[in-house]
Amino acid sequence: MAQNLEVKVPRAKIAPSMLSSDFSNLASEAKFIEECGADWLHMDVMDGHFVPNLTIGAPVIKSLRKHTKMYMDCHLMVTNPMDYVDEFVKAGASGFTFHVEVAKDNWQELIHKIKAGGMRAGVALRPGTPVEEVFPLVESQEPVDMVLVMTVEPGFGGQSFMPETMPKVNALRRKFPLLDIEVDGGLAPATIKQAAEAGANCIVAGSAVFGAKDPAEVIATLRQGVDAAQTSSIFFK
Ligand code: DX5
Ligand code: ZN
């Protein structure tokens, strides 16, 4: 089984969070971070209700789309994600990740709408939400493409990584070897080993990347962390 592991585990995707970039220069920040080796742009959408902070919405995604072809990984920290799907499709979003806590009754319809619009669907969970709540969304006939395990309380960049969320990542990786599993909050060279060894392959990092002297070096270090964990057989021990 171990010989097949490298081809079976989804590859590393490093997604700098634009929340920590200079919002007044989003287009040049996106270009810069692409040149630094980033795979995705992580776009944090907050409504001031699901989380106590207000950031950007579809109009900003639409403006930025005119300046970049990069994959825009949109993380919707909003109470009513269904109301935003059409707008995000039109704006040119690539991935649409909603929170399971606000989609208990309509997740099937939501996934369908996201995918019908040509976006990849993701589901996120807060640190206090049990991982079992997202299993049906991965096992569904029309499943999500990614699970985002929050490693801080959503709302702000620059918080400390919560290691107690790692058993959730590990439970997902053991159950779903091919799934894209994203971690978000407090990821940095000091915490990547824990997250990658638990099974995460999509790494969001805001302050660690944009606050670094050499963002390209941090992106490379995060990628190496994922690659190193994947070459071991740790998920199957
Ligand atoms: C927090 C956001 C994160 C945040 C991560 O609610 O979802 O994407 O920008 O920032 P860092 O990497 O600084 O913790
Ligand atoms: Zn995020």
Among 147, 133, 142, smallest CA distance to 176 is for: 147
What are the phi and psi torsion angles at 131 (to 5°)?
Answer: -65, -30
- Sheet containing 146-150: give its strands across: 13-16, 202-205, 180-184, 146-150, 120-125, 95-99, 71-77, 40-46
- Return the sign of the alpha-carbon dihedral for residues 164, 97, 226, 158: negative
Q: Does pLDDT of 149 surpass 90?
A: yes
Any residues with Cβ below 6 Å from ligand 1, and which? 17, 19-20, 42, 44, 75, 152, 154-159, 184-187, 204-208
Looking at every residue in the chain, the average pLDDT score rounds to 95
Fold for 13-236, please state it: TIM Barrel (3.20.20)
Tokens (6 digits) for 130: 């049990």
Q: Is residue 47's pLDDT more than 60?
A: yes
Q: In this predicted structure, what is the pLDDT of residue 8?
A: 66
Domain ranges of the chain: 13-236
What is the rounded distance in angstroms from the CA atom of residue 36 to the CA atom of residue 216? 4
Residue of 43, 51, 204, 222 to mutate, ligand 1, most atoms within 8 A of C-beta:
204
Which pLDDT value is given to residue 64? 98
Q: Is the pLDDT of residue 170 over 90?
A: yes
